[in-house]
């Protein structure tokens, strides 16, 4: 049986918990085991009073490719939702440390974090439309919250990647760093938070979460409607078959 440490390494650095996804051979694609491990680790971050912040990163050349298309990502968790993170109501800052491509659900993990540190080796993309499916874990509304609307629309409709340098210029990325330095820079950012009052941090995050709650509820409702329509389409079936066959899809628009 795979141990938690084999799929998610949890390291404590002072009062910051560093979570490193370890499915490098699968480009850190998220299966049920990784979802469960992320949920447990984030519960620890939420509940342990000695921890002040978290850093989420991925081992190897890819931050995360999103859902494991062969095995699935497992059921949403009670506290975290999809991937154990996407619908979580957190009161401690979580920093994404991105040192490679964040694709699809991997980008949606980034969008679920509070702050983003990225190296120049990072990129962000939502390639679902190229497969005839749709971004299902928050990107339909969170991308437009994190980026200008036209840029968000471009990412969602083209499936093309956004380079880290441009993401930084547009405000998605808080700190841009050299390749291999994302975690180090994320820990430095966590240190900048550490000097501030924990109650102030907690209540600020809670207020931000409450402010976005109504729009999130609407966002999840429209996402669900879009998912149902797409999954019932001929194009969805064709996109999945074409992806499996490694060929260009023949879209019909139905």
What is the set of active-site residues? 108, 128
As a whole number of angstroms, the distance between CA 116 and CA 99 comes to 11
Task: With residue 221 as reference, give the H or E element that holds it.
Answer: helix 198-231
CB 7 within 8 A of CB 23: yes
Measure the CA–CA gap between 128 and 130, rounded to whole angstroms: 5
Euclidean distance between CA atoms 129 and 143, whole angstroms: 15
Using CA atoms, how far apart are residues 122 and 236, in angstroms rounded to an integer?
A: 29
Map residue 102 onto helix, strand or coil. Answer: strand
Q: How far apart are CA 172 and CA 54, in angstroms?
A: 18
Using CA atoms, how far apart are residues 167 and 147, in angstroms rounded to an integer?
Answer: 8
Cβ 117 vs Cβ 173: under 8 Å: yes
Torsional sign, CA 46, 47, 48, 49: positive
The 8-class DSSP code of residue 46 comes to: H
């Amino acid at each position: 049986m795979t141990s938690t440490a084999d799929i998610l390494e949890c390291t404590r650095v002072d009062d910051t918990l560093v979570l490193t996804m370890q499915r490098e051979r699968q480009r850190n694609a998220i299966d049920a085991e990784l979802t469960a491990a992320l949920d447990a680790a984030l519960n620890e971050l939420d509940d342990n009073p000695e921890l002040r912040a978290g850093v989420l990163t991925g081992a190897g050349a890819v931050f995360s490719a999103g859902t494991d298309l062969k095995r699935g990502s497992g059921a949403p968790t009670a506290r975290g939702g999809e991937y154990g993170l996407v619908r979580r109501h957190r009161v401690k800052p979580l920093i994404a440390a991105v040192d490679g491509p964040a694709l699809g659900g991997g980008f949606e993990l980034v969008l679920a974090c509070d702050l983003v540190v990225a190296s120049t080796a990072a990129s962000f993309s939502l390639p679902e439309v190229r497969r005839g499916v749709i971004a299902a874990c928050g990107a339909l509304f969170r991308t437009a919250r994190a980026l200008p609307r036209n840029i968000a629309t471009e990412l969602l409709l083209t499936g093309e990647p956004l380079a880290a340098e441009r993401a930084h210029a547009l405000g998605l990325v808080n700190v841009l760093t050299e390749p291999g330095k994302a975690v180090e820079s994320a820990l430095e950012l966590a240190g900048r938070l550490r000097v501030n009052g924990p109650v102030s941090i907690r209540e600020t995050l809670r207020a931000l979460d409450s402010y976005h709650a109504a729009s999130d509820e609407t966002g999840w409702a429209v996402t669900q409607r879009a998912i149902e329509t797409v999954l019932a389409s001929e194009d969805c079936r064709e996109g999945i078959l074409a992806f499996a066959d490694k060929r260009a899809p023949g879209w019909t628009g139905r």
